[in-house]
Chain A
Amino acid sequence: MPKILAIEDDPTTGEEIVAELSQHGFEVVWIADGRDGLISAVSGDFDAILLDRMLPRLDGLAIVTIIRKAGIDIPVLMISALSDVDERVRGLRAGGDDYMTKPFASEELAARLEVLLRRRAAIPRQAALTVADLEIDLMSRTVRRAGVEIRLMPTEYKLLEFMVRNSGQVLTRTMIFEAIWGYHFDPGTNLIDVHLGRLRRKLDRPGLPPLLHTIRGSGYALHAPA
């Protein structure tokens, strides 16, 4: 069970985080004060830290800077009421791995944490990725499903690789947009859905069990047929 340290001073948000993450099978330690949070972060054995940007006594930015200076390489997801792009840049530059704006949809929090955990655990060098009968050759950038090669456009390939690297994990539209296109705004309407729809048509041919699943109300997940 992954152990998460949540440093958050707002009681409502803190409770929500604990409830939501427990539900997703995380073990959460919640600390409401910046300095105590830093002590726990340095001493404790956590798998990831959820860090509020603004905290009493010691600022979130300062905490992440100190952690990184100390050489602690633990995934840090920063959350903040400051949605400004500049703030995001500052947070990531200080050493945060991801940045979320409050208020957030609770399932997005869990999804992002899991992606972060997985990224850290990532197998160093792989020549290929596989999920069920889907194979991606990372060298030649070719994709095969049940032995048949699937021709993909560059964006579709990037999308598929991202989904496969995070297979079994719910990915929200925002996460997908940020990861593939690298922009941080609301692309609106159903742009991401359309891209995933295209990918699905190429991937899940009629007769094959579907790999790409729409998760109602949250996003998408790629996983082997149950």
Chain B
Amino acid sequence: MRPRELWRTTPFRLTLFNGAVFALAVMALLGLIYWRTAGYISHQLDAIVVSEARALASAGAESLPRRVREAVAADGRAISYYGLFSADGVWIEGNVHRLPPDAVPDGAPRDLRETGFQPGARAVVQRLPWGELLFVGHDAKVLSGLREIIVNALAVSGAVILLLGLAAAAALSLAPLRRIDHLRAASRAALRGELGVRLPVSRRRDEIDMLAGLANAMMDETERLLWEVKSVGDNVAHDLRTPLNRLRAMLYRVSQETRLEGPDREMIDRALAETDELLIRFRALLRIGEIERRDRQACFEPVRLQSVLEHVLELHEPSAEDRGVTLDCDTIQAAPPIFADPGLLFEAVSNLVDNALKFTPSGGRVRLRLLMRDEGPRIEVVDNGPGVPDDEREAVLNRFYRSQRTRTEPGSGLGLSIVTAIARLHHFTLSLDDARPGLRVALDCWPRGLEA
């Protein structure tokens, strides 16, 4: 399982998101506790410094230095600061030797921002009735201890939440990911045309199962419809072919045995020709079914495309000449052999050339080309006939479709469908585009990517 895949799953992201929200909530809670506690402690400190200053001030001018000294000595935790200064700020007594520069001697408690004190320390500076200045401060060791505890708690809980969240997310998403991998494998097989494939459904009946079940139902329906259509087509062709053959046999016998002359003879011949035309179409229909049902690579072998094209050229050259169409073949570039069914490939290219010749007027040109692309060899049949309009290009690949302007030409209308079926069997791509003027049909002889 790739980490990137893990990251993309919904359970993974949801769990991580939940973890983040939870971590934020914990931080907010601890923050609130700290903020309220700090306020309370600060308030307490204020009360302490103010009451101590007041108590010291009440001692009187003579005993004050002694009281200050006693107070300093009594402070075992070294969290109280005392300082007695003359009216112009010269130290007299205490463990604070210098007044803070921003001190205001109004008796109101303030933050003590001097270095050497914990943040949150409070102090009061009071001018005594006899002019001297009394400084009383209280460090905020409790507060900083509390802060430390809270920050530690935050760090530890954050790490725990993160690790637990990741673990939970991975655990939650691995199982669905594994299931989705199975689904993907099955879908790929279905995409390759394996109609019998179904997506795996567990007994959990969760949302993945619901979707898989839905997809399976769709695939069932598609397969049913496909078989129905196929069997209707095949059965019709098969069932009708037998009586048609009998009809043809009868017509043939009539044409052979009796001595018909003139219009009667002509009628019989025309009837025979029409029957043959019908039989050709049935054969083509059955042929498509046959190719589609084909055991995929039973007849595959290395094929030299150059020789396939040369044989096609050789087969069609006289008929091109009769039609007054130039047919040439351009296979200069050496293409490596491809793995394919040589008979079917010949049939496909032959059909393409047959089509091109049919729809190219006398004096026109049909070119059979073998090109080499990065991905593999490409066969092109290019004519300079009337071409196929943009909006019809998709449709000409459908069974029986014939461009409006060419309806009068003989043929089954199934030639391109046979080519499509052959291309699909090989996973090759058949494409039509404008050759300005004319039509360019290209058969890309490399497997079309299915892993998209």
- Are B318 and A195 touching (Cβ within 8 A)? yes
Q: Contact string, A175-198, partner B, CB cutoff 8 A, digits 1/0?
A: 000000101111111110011011
Point out the residues of chain A lying under 8 angstroms from B18, CB to CB. none
- Are B255 and A198 touching (Cβ within 8 A)? no
Residue of A106, A155, A184, A189 near B343 (CB, 8 A) is: A184
Interface presence of A89 (CB below 8 A):
yes
Residue of B241, B284, B299, B314 near A186 (CB, 8 A) is: B284
Interface presence of B393 (CB below 8 A):
no
- Are B319 and A191 touching (Cβ within 8 A)? yes
Given contact pairs A185-B347, A186-B283, A194 touches B322 in the complex (Cβ within 8 A): yes
Interface presence of B280 (CB below 8 A):
yes
Interface presence of A121 (CB below 8 A):
no
- Are A84 and B351 touching (Cβ within 8 A)? no
Interface presence of B358 (CB below 8 A):
yes
Point out the residues of chain A lying under 8 angstroms from B311, CB to CB. 181
- Are B299 and A189 touching (Cβ within 8 A)? no
Given contact pairs A194-B318, A198-B318, A216-B255, A188 touches B242 in the complex (Cβ within 8 A): no
CB neighbors of B among A153-204 (8 A):
155, 181, 183-191, 194-195, 197-198
Nearest A residue to B320 via CB reads A194
- Are B286 and A188 touching (Cβ within 8 A)? no
Given contact pairs A188-B412, A216-B269, A83 touches B245 in the complex (Cβ within 8 A): no
Nearest B residue to A89 via CB reads B299
Interface presence of B252 (CB below 8 A):
yes
Point out the residues of chain B lying under 8 angstroms from A83, CB to CB. 286-287, 290
Interface presence of A9 (CB below 8 A):
no
- Are B351 and A105 touching (Cβ within 8 A)? no
- Are A189 and B410 touching (Cβ within 8 A)? yes
Interface presence of B91 (CB below 8 A):
no
Given contact pairs A194-B322, A216-B255, A188 touches B299 in the complex (Cβ within 8 A): no
- Are B318 and A106 touching (Cβ within 8 A)? no
Point out the residues of chain A lying under 8 angstroms from B347, CB to CB. 183, 185
- Are A190 and B319 touching (Cβ within 8 A)? yes
- Are B295 and A86 touching (Cβ within 8 A)? yes
Point out the residues of chain B lying under 8 angstroms from A106, CB to CB. 245, 249, 252
A190 to B410: give the CA distance in the assembly, Å.
10
A106 to B256: give the CA distance in the assembly, Å.
13
Point out the residues of chain A lying under 8 angstroms from B252, CB to CB. 105-107, 217-218
Q: What does DSSP make chain B's interface, helix, strand, loop or mixed? A: helix
Interface presence of B120 (CB below 8 A):
no
- Are B287 and A191 touching (Cβ within 8 A)? no
- Are B343 and A85 touching (Cβ within 8 A)? yes
Q: Contact string, B316-333, partner A, CB cutoff 8 A, digits 1/0?
A: 101100100000000000
CB neighbors of A among B397-430 (8 A):
410-412, 415
Q: For chain B, give the interface size range.
A: 35 or more
Residue of A85, A86, A103, A188 near B354 (CB, 8 A) is: A188
A217 to B346: give the CA distance in the assembly, Å.
27
Interface presence of B2 (CB below 8 A):
no
Point out the residues of chain A lying under 8 angstroms from B4, CB to CB. none
- Are B316 and A105 touching (Cβ within 8 A)? no
Nearest B residue to A195 via CB reads B318
Given contact pairs A84-B290, A185-B287, A189-B319, A103 touches B298 in the complex (Cβ within 8 A): no
- Are B294 and A217 touching (Cβ within 8 A)? no
Q: Contact string, A121-158, partner B, CB cutoff 8 A, digits 1/0?
A: 00000000000000000000000000000000001000
Nearest A residue to B322 via CB reads A194
A103 to B295: give the CA distance in the assembly, Å.
23
Q: Contact string, B98-121, partner A, CB cutoff 8 A, digits 1/0?
A: 000000000000000000000000
A-B contacts, 15 listed (Cβ < 8 Å): A83-B287, A83-B290, A103-B242, A105-B245, A105-B252, A155-B314, A183-B347, A184-B343, A186-B283, A188-B354, A188-B412, A189-B410, A216-B256, A217-B256, A218-B252
Closest 6 CB pairs of A and B: A103-B245, A194-B319, A194-B318, A103-B242, A185-B347, A106-B249
- With A84-B294, A105-B252, A195-B318 given, name 9 new contacts (CB 8 A): A16-B246, A83-B287, A103-B242, A181-B311, A181-B315, A188-B280, A216-B256, A217-B256, A217-B276
Binding site for A on B (CB under 8 A): 241-242, 245-246, 248-249, 251-252, 255-256, 269, 272, 276, 280, 283-284, 286-287, 290, 293-295, 298-299, 311, 314-316, 318-319, 322, 343, 346-347, 350-351, 354, 358, 410-412, 415
